[in-house]
Structure 1
Amino acid sequence: MFENGRKTIGVILCDVSSHYQEQICQTLSMYAKEADYNLAYFTFFSCYGTETTRNGRGEANIVHLIPFEKLDAIILCHDTLVNKPALDYVVDSIEKKCDCPVVTLRHDLKDYPAVLVNQEHRIEDLVYHFVDEHHKTKIAFMSGPFDHPDTITRLADYKRALANRGIPFDERMVYEGDYWTKKAKEAADYFTMELAEKPEVIVCANDYMASSLMNELIAKGFLVPDDIAVSGFDNIWESSITLPPITTVSVPVHDMVKQAVGLIEAMWRGETVPQKSYVNSEVIFRNSCGCETFNMQSMLAKRVRQMNEYQSIMESNQSNTYMFIDLSDLDHVDGIEKSLRIGANDHIDSFFICLGEGRGEQYPKYCSPANGFAKKSKVVGGLFHKRACVFDVFETSQLLPKDVSEDKPMIYYFFPIHNNQFSYGYLAVSYEDNYSTNKTFNNWLAI
């Protein structure tokens, strides 16, 4: 597919700038380079409840770009695909079109080999810790969406832990969150104002909800953990720099990726592999439950990193503003790469704006509200190793022009280019080192 004589692994996931997905991409990229494989990431940005919106449909259209028949293996992170129609299409296409190894991460799917996290008892361990070590009994739970696989498992663990410690389950002590930060204020209001008696502990199903909820509680005047203790799940980096740092569960993404690649290699050799493989998780006790003593040296080092990241985000936003102004002067695509270069991340090595071929004299020649892409595409602007480039029309199923093929592992991310439900083409991006997208990339892409 990349026409460089190497096997290509397709990776299907959503929201690559989120912590878990970022770790997957960086680790996979490292292993792929070591093992001499190509990687093709097919990804889009989404959130719960957007799959039926016009923009949600336009984003999810990227799954129709995937050349299932040409891939040598697929790693599917299907629990990140919150767009159900997109997930259904991917699963159906794999069943009908794929004759290659398929491995799923974190959750099993049908009969495909899966690398799972041994996490079934970690919420239980957290509840036991609050009861046994901190003598708390009023323990609430902030879940993700009730139909999410992680929510089902973690909520069951919460209920089981309460029962094992003789604490009656009260459904009013459970609040449905979103695995993100948008419901934090509502949750804080609910737990502290609507319940007859506020909880002593709020166990959250992931760190994004835990950190945002904790901030809302502190804004209301509550002390964490003195008034209300909080815990999270996933051990994202931000959970270690909040004040106080968050007690959480560490999920070993590096081990998951290593096992997934190992399973694929074994299947390439014709070996039989287990349907389920496991990696272990562990509880990380910090100050949000009252355990870890404050370490000033560690906190200062983390604050320096946080400030550096904040500065990088501010600079990216400023670059995006200048890029938007520069783009507003264009009335056609000629020279677009010069404008995009203004806002391009320093870590981007190559990017190609691939628009569909269709009728008309000027691009975009292709604009369709239907799922799918034009049969042929044209790079109308881009950089190849940071230099402006021009390429002939190519078959879209090839993903990239032949002229960019290189005698080394090629690693590209593919994003949709669209306006609401109307698709124009896609963007292909390659990074230096093992870098993945940053937090402002979707803003750059949207412009």
Structure 2
Amino acid sequence: MILRSKPVMASVFNLLQEYIMENKRRCIAVITSEVCEVYQSLLLEGIKKQAAENNFNVAVFATYFSQRLDSPLNEIGENNIFNLINYDLFDGFIVVPNCVAAENVLDRITQKLLKANKPVVFIDKENEYFTSVCSNDYNSFKNIVNHLIRDHGLTRINCLTGFKGMNLSEARLQGYIDALRENNIPVEENRYDYGDFWRVAAVSFVEKMFTCGLELPQAVVCANDTMAIAVCREIFKRGLNVPEDIAVTGFDRIMEGRLHHPSISSVYPAMSEIGKKAVEVLYDAMSGKEVEKNYLIDGEFFPSESCGCAGDSVQSLRDEMDRYNQYVEHSQYFTNSIYMYENLQESSNIDELFIGAANYRHLLNDIDTFHIFLCDNWDELNEKKSLFKKNKESLGYSKRVTTKFSENGSFLTGDLGSFNSEYMFPPIFDNNLSPNMYFFFPVNFQDITFGYVVCTCTENSVTPDAICRNWIKYLSNALEHLRSNQHLKWVLKRLERISEIDSLTGVYNRTGYENRIYKVFESARDQDKDFLIIMGDLDCLKKINDNYGHAEGDNAIRIIAKAIQNSFTEDEAVARIGGDEFIMFGAGSFDEEKLKEYPDRINDYLDHYNENSSKPYIIAISLGIYCKKVSENSELKEWLDKADENMYVNKKGKIKVFQKEQ
């Protein structure tokens, strides 16, 4: 049953936010990503169990992917969920640093944690400031190699570990090396290499194994089951068998590895125990007890068919197959419902969109309660805003958020009241509810932030699955489709022809600039208004092109265009009039304080981008501003010359010129 908003809902969160500080349950925050993956799911399972025993709530702030190399903007948008965290309201924190790929994001989180001065536990990575609880990957991997040597008599053993520099990758590699040395087996550098925890590295590793000139190995140890499965397939392609010709082992003991033929010998990491231990450490720290700096938890090795040992029992495999079939059936059901996104695209307004989304709520079998909150003015549908302007909240979350979808036994859609976003989701602090784990996911399109989702799982599930992730992404894409469509209608009214737009940046090109600037100038003269020009020149474009390629130069040009657009307050226009040259102009009333805001907004945007981007270069701009009233005898050339002159003063390192003549 789908209900529209009721007046009684409007103040529920406002009442809660006043109440929680007086009757607050202890709550810990977990910072991670990809919660549906085995590693994270097992960890969160342990955290949830131990937190319930300690009467804690858990708030999990998670991105969908740990790293988006294919989309830096999406990575920025997803990482924005971490900016929602109010560090003052939580009693402790658990951070999974291997799941936060962007070092600058992790550094900012670390600084906020230090400022909060609350108990903190880092998972699987030691930290100079905080306690860590780590999987003993070194011992576990060493045990695998010792098993191959001592139980199977193998001496030529190759190793494919994970990403170079990652703690667990290096620990597993060192365990391999030390096991060989302890058994007096020479360590040959050509027999081990770094991988990517995925199939791609496994394919190239096996190719090298067969072509490097060394005698083929008797065994290959892999840093995870996914790579081990891929290694097996590559060995089969070359006419050899596993384990008869080459034994293969993995790590993580995932479902696909257990069902593979032959079943993969693997280590079951003690992630659930690590999660429990992390909460125990936080509890002790909150209670004033002294805790150790680092804790190590051993995993359990399960030898199986791929190394020549016996596999799992028939009953165990049947149970695993039943779970797998249930997942496949559910996934297929979702696949058959991919029309969700198409149907949501037909929505003409935000209320229709969320009513449509409620019709697909049944796909989220593992979800118990589900809430969607949008930032104020998430869509920026205002005809005074500029062409293609993105949501200003892409740099954070608005001060207040509105509940647009709430499902807790029944559906409610519409404007269900708003509350201060600093409280995130007030019920997580409610002492009258049973302890639970709440998941916070971003609702974003690339670096545009629309809002966030908060959900809980059913008793039979620990974490939301990939279907929930896809559901939210479909919703996010539909929101962007709605937002873009509204903007497009406005754009079509304003553009005289498509040739006026610069294809790289989406702002006006020289043709559009020339067609418009004279009209705006004459309008200022007729209406006795100020006329403003801001000239901008991208700094060091040639150096960026020469050192990083023209694709990166194009990226810098696009970011400058976005930064200038972000500074708009009236009906200004921006054009790219040369390779690295921009001009912004408009008519209106501009006092000196307002003029100073333009470069501040532009530079703030660039500072935020440079801080959050993984690019190796800094994007900066030199600006020149000129503004005054247009008299009857005024000529546009005066504004162009003065702004250009001021820009070059700025470029030479002098103080910015903010000039307003009467």
**Aligned equivalent of 2:49, options 25, 30, 54:** 30
Helix, strand or coil at the partner of 1:62:
helix
Identity of aligned residues (%): 25
Query: Does residue 358 in structure 1 map to residue 377 in structure 2?
Result: yes
1:126-205 alignment, distance < 5 Å: 126-194=144-212, 196-205=214-223
CA positional deviation for 1:316:
2.3
Q: 1:317, 1:440 within 8 Å by CA — same for their partners in 2?
A: no
Gaps of 5+ in 2: 1-16, 383-388, 475-662
CA distance in 1 between counterparts of 2:228 and 2:192 reads 14
Alignment partners' CA distance in 1, 2:380 and 2:301: 60
Structure 2 match to 1:340: 357
Which region of structure 1 is more displaced relative to structure 2, 404-413 or 38-47? 404-413
CA distance 1:65–1:78, change in 2 (3 Å): same
The alignment's TM-score, normalised by the length of structure 1, stands at 0.90
Mapping for residues 284-363 of structure 1, pairs under 5 Å: 284-292=302-310, 295-319=313-337, 321-341=338-358, 342=360, 344-358=363-377
Which deviates more, 167-176 or 71-80? 167-176
Aligned to 1:40: 59
* Structure showing the higher helix proportion among its residues: 2
State how 1:44-443 maps to structure 2 within 5 Å.
44-48=63-67, 50=69, 53-96=72-115, 98-194=116-212, 196-292=214-310, 295-319=313-337, 321-341=338-358, 342=360, 344-358=363-377, 367-368=391-392, 370-389=394-413, 390-400=415-425, 407-408=432-433, 409-433=435-459, 434-443=461-470
Residue of structure 1 in register with 2:555 after alignment: none
- Tell me: CA distance 1:405–1:386, structure 2 relative to 1, closer, same or farther (3 Å): farther
Whole-Å Cα distance in 2 between the matches of residues 418 and 293 of structure 1?
44
Distance 1:243 1:93 in 2: 48
Partner of residue 16 from structure 1, selected from 35, 42, 51: 35
Aligned 8 A contact 1:394 1:401 in 2: no
* Cα distance, 1:405–1:6 mapped onto 2, change above 3 Å: closer
**Separation of aligned partners in 1, 2:201 and 2:332:** 25
Between the aligned partners of 1:104 and 1:404, the Cα distance in structure 2 is 23
Task: In structure 1, give the amino acid aligned to 2:432.
Answer: D
Q: Which runs of 5+ in 1 are unaligned?
A: none
Q: Which entry has the higher C-alpha Rg, 1 or 2?
A: 2
1:100 maps to a residue whose letter is: K
Once the two structures are TM-superposed, the CA of residue 293 in structure 1 deviates from its matched residue by 5.0
**Counterpart of 1:226 in 2: which secondary structure?**
coil
Deviations 1:317-341 (A, max 9, x none): 223x131132121122204333323
Amino acid at match of 2:398: A
What is the CA deviation profile of residues 52-73 of structure 1, one whole-angstrom value per residue up to 9, with x for unaligned ones? 7122222122111111121111
Distance 2:121 2:314 in 1: 42
CA contact (8 A) 1:28 1:257 kept: yes
Task: Measure the CA separation in 2 of the matches of 1:182 and 1:416.
Answer: 29
Pairwise CA distance, 1:381? 2.6
The DSSP-based 3-state class of the residue aligned with 1:111 is coil
Q: Which shifted more, 14-23 or 261-270?
A: 261-270
The 3 A distance-change label for structure 1 pair 313 and 220 is: farther
Residue 289 of structure 1: how far off its partner (Å): 0.4
Counterpart residue identity of residue 394, structure 1: F
Q: Which amino acid aligns with 1:374?
A: S
> What do the CA deviations read for 1:148-173 (whole angstroms, capped 9, x no partner)?
01111111221222222333222222
Inter-partner Cα distance in structure 2 for 1:20 and 1:66: 23
Q: 1:95 and 1:202 mapped to 2: Cα distance?
A: 43
Task: Describe the superposition over 1:92-117 as per-residue Cα deviations: whole angstroms up to 9, x where unpaired.
Answer: 21112x13211122222123222223
Amino acid of the structure 1 residue aligned with 2:391: C
The answer to whether the 8 Å contact 1:368/1:424 transfers is no
CA, structure 1 residues 219+396, in 2 after alignment: closer, same or farther (shift >3 Å)?
farther
CA displacement at 1:17 relative to structure 2: 0.8
Tell me the number of residue pairs that the alignment of Structure 1 and Structure 2 aligns.
Answer: 444
Tell me the residue number matched to 1:444: 471
**2:397/2:449 contact within 8 Å kept:** yes
RMSD: 2.7
Q: Does structure 1 conserve the Cα–Cα contact (< 8 Å) formed by 2:24 and 2:429?
A: no
* The 10-residue stretch of structure 1 (380-389 or 68-77) with the greater mean CA deviation from structure 2: 380-389
Displacement of 1:219 after TM fit?
Answer: 4.4
Letter paired with 1:204 = C
Deviations 1:201-237 (A, max 9, x none): 1111122222233234334443211122111122234
**Which one scores higher on RCO, CA 8 angstroms, separation ≥ 6?**
1
Amino acid at match of 1:155: L
Paired with 2:161 and 2:430, the residues of 1 have a C-alpha distance of: 46
| Contact 2:401–2:418 under 8 Å retained in 1 | yes
The answer to which of 25-34 and 201-210 deviates more is 25-34
